[in-house]
C-alpha cells in the first residue's frame, strides 16, 4: 500500500483509507466480524480509518474503539461531527457548545485520548466560522485533536475558512473530504484546485458511487432497495434522467475496463486515486470479502489512454446525476433566499368616518 502525505500536516496516510459507515446497524452489525474487517485492513497496509459520530448513532465509533485495542498508535484515526445526535436542537451543528461535547463523546466511544483528524461533517450556516475554528483550535492546543478538516465544503466556504483562520489567528482546516468518482466529478472545477492552492489534504468518499461503478447495475437489472438504499433512494431512482445517464455510462465504462484488463471496481478506484490533489480514497466495505476486492486496486495505475477514455465517457467537472450531491447550499434549497420580497403597496387612509379627504 503506497503512502502519501496528508496536505501540509506531515502525516503519512495510506493511498486507500477504511471508511466505516457500514460498520454497525446501518450495515454489518456483527461486532466481531466488523473488528476482523478493521484488522484485515490494517494488516493490508491501510493506516487511515475514517468514521463519524452519527454513523449508526455512534455504534461505528464504538466498534472502531474495540478494534484498535493494542493497535491505536499505528492508525491515523479520523472522525466527524455536525449531524444531530439527539432530539435537542443544540445536539448538533458546529457551535462551540456542541463541538466541545461532541469531541468528548467521540473520544469516549473511540476509547482513545486523541483524535488525529476531526472534521466538520457539513457546512453550518447558522454558526460563524470564527466560532467553529476558535473551538477547534482550542481543542488542538489542548491535545485532544491533532488536525482539523472540513467535509463537503464548497470552494467559496473553503476560502472563507482559510481567511477567517488567518485574520483571527486560528488554526486553519488541514483537509477537505468531498465525494469523488467517475460519476461525481464536479469538485474538479473548483474544490480540488482550491484545496491544492491552500495545501490541504483531500480525502475522497464514495469512489464507487454507492455501487454504480462496480458494474452491478446494468440495463435490464432491477435495483432492489434495501434499508440502506432507501436512505438514498434518489441515487437509484431510474425515473431520474441523471440515473439513466449513469446506466448508459456504465455500459461504456465496462468496455473501457475490459480493454484495460480490469474490473470496473478497480478501474473506478484507480481513477479516484489518480488526481494529484487526492491524498487518500475512502473505501466503504461492509464485509471482509468486499474489503479484499477493493484493496486489489492498490496496485492499479491508469495510463493516459485509459484516463482519456474515461474523460470521453464523463467529461471532467461533470456530475451525471445532480441528485448524488449531498450538500445543497441554502441559497438553492430555500426559495426565499433568491426571491426579492414583493414591494408592499401603501395603505390607503380609512374613510369609514364619512369625512371628505
Cell of 266: 478497480
CA 164 to chain centre: 23
**Which of 236, 260, 256, 353 has the alpha carbon at shortest distance from 314?**
256
pLDDT the model gives residue 333:
87
How much is the pTM? 0.91
Quick one: what percent of the chain has pLDDT higher than 70? 94
Helix or strand holding residue 205 (H, E)? none
Average pLDDT of the chain is 93
- Asked whether the predicted pLDDT for residue 298 surpasses 90, the reply is yes
Check residue 237 and give its pLDDT. 81
Read off the pLDDT band of 227 (50, 70, 90): low
The residues carrying an active-site annotation are 55
pLDDT of residue 313: 98
**According to the model, what pLDDT value does residue 355 have?**
45
d(CA 87, CA 84): 7
Q: Is residue 299's pLDDT more than 60?
A: yes
Tens digit of each residue's pLDDT (9 = 90 or more) over 233-282: 778 888 889 889 999 999 999 999 999 999 999 999 999 999 999 999 99
pLDDT at residue number 226: 66
Kindly write down the DSSP assignment for every residue of 305-319, as one continuous string. HHHHHHHHHS-TT-B
The DSSP 8-state label assigned to residue 352 in this structure reads T
Contacts of 197 (CB under 8 A, 6+ apart): none
Assess whether pLDDT exceeds 90 at residue 344.
no
Q: How far apart are CA 115 and CA 159, in angstroms?
A: 25
Whether the per-residue pLDDT at 120 is higher than 80: the answer is: yes
The beta strand positions in the chain, using DSSP E, are 3-5, 12-14, 16-19, 48-50, 76-81, 117-120, 148-151, 175-177, 201-204, 280-283
Fold classified for 10-337: TIM Barrel (3.20.20)
C-alpha cell at 57: 448513532
pLDDT band at 348 (very low <50, low <70, confident <90, very high): low
Grid cell for residue 234: 434518489
Residue 48 reports pLDDT greater than 90: yes
Q: How far apart are CA 99 and CA 213, in angstroms?
A: 35
Least confident of 136-140, 144-148, 168-172, 340-344: 340-344
pLDDT tens per residue across span 145-169: 999 999 999 999 999 999 999 999 9
Range of lowest pLDDT (24-28, 92-96, 301-305): 24-28
Tens-place pLDDT, residues 59-82 = 999 999 999 999 999 999 999 999
How buried is 236 (Cβ within 10 angstroms: 0-12 exposed, 13-18 middle, 19+ buried)?
buried
pLDDT tens figures, 179-202: 999 999 999 999 999 999 999 999
The answer to whether 151 touches 122, Cβ cutoff 8 Å, is yes
User: For residues 176 and 278, is the Cβ–Cβ distance under 8 A?
Assistant: no
**Cα–Cα distance for residue pair 49/43, rounded to 1 Å:** 13
The number of residues making up the chain comes to 357
**113 CB-near residues (< 8 Å, 6+ apart):** 107, 144
Q: How many CA atoms lie within 13 A of 318 on its CB side?
A: 15
User: Residue 325 burial by CB count (10 A; 0-12/13-18/19+): exposed, middle or buried?
Assistant: middle
Beta strand 12-14 with 3-5: parallel, antiparallel or unpaired?
A: antiparallel
Q: What is the pLDDT of residue 54?
A: 97
Rounded distance between C-alpha atoms, residue 6 and residue 119, angstroms: 14
Amino acid at each position: 500500500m503506497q503512502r502519501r502525505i496528508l496536505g501540509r500536516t506531515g502525516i503519512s496516510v495510506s493511498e486507500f483509507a477504511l471508511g466505516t459507515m457500514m460498520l454497525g446497524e446501518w450495515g454489518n452489525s456483527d461486532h466481531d466480524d466488523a473488528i476482523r474487517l478493521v484488522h484485515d485492513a490494517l494488516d493490508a497496509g491501510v493506516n487511515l480509518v475514517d468514521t463519524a459520530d452519527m454513523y449508526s448513532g455512534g455504534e461505528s465509533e464504538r466498534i472502531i474503539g474495540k478494534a484498535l485495542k493494542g493497535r491505536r498508535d499505528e492508525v491515523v484515526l479520523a472522525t466527524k461531527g455536525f449531524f444531530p445526535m439527539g432530539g435537542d436542537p443544540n445536539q448538533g451543528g458546529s457551535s462551540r457548545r456542541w463541538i466541545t461535547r461532541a469531541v468528548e463523546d467521540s473520544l469516549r466511544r473511540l476509547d482513545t485520548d486523541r483524535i488525529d483528524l476531526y472534521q466538520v461533517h457539513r457546512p453550518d450556516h447558522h454558526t460563524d466560522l470564527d466560532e467553529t475554528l476558535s473551538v477547534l483550535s482550542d481543542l488542538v492546543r489542548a491535545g485532544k485533536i491533532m488536525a482539523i478538516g472540513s467535509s463537503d465544503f464548497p470552494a467559496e466556504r473553503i476560502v472563507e475558512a482559510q481567511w477567517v483562520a488567518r485574520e483571527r489567528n486560528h488554526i486553519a482546516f488541514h483537509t477537505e473530504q468531498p465525494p469523488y468518482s467517475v460519476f461525481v466529478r464536479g469538485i474538479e472545477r473548483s474544490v480540488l484546485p482550491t484545496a491544492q492552492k491552500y495545501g490541504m489534504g483531500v480525502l475522497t468518499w464514495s469512489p464507487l458511487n454507492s455501487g454504480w461503478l462496480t458494474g452491478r447495475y446494468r440495463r435490464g437489472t432491477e435495483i432492489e432497495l434495501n434499508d440502506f438504499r432507501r436512505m438514498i433512494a434518489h441515487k437509484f431512482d431510474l425515473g431520474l434522467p441523471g440515473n439513466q445517464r449513469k446506466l448508459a455510462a456504465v455500459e461504456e465504462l465496462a468496455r473501457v475496463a475490459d480493454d484495460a484488463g480490469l474490473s470496473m471496481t478497480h478501474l473506478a478506484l484507480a481513477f479516484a486515486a489518480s488526481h494529484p490533489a487526492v491524498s487518500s480514497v475512502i473505501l466503504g466495505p461492509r464485509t471482509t470479502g468486499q474489503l479484499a476486492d477493493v484493496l486489489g486496486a492498490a496496485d492499479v495505475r491508469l495510463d493516459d489512454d485509459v484516463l482519456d477514455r474515461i474523460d470521453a465517457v464523463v467529461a471532467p467537472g461533470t456530475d451525471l446525476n445532480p441528485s448524488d450531491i449531498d450538500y445543497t447550499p441554502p441559497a438553492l434549497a430555500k426559495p426565499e433566499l433568491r426571491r426579492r420580497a414583493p414591494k408592499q403597496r401603501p395603505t390607503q387612509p380609512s374613510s369609514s368616518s364619512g369625512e371628505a379627504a
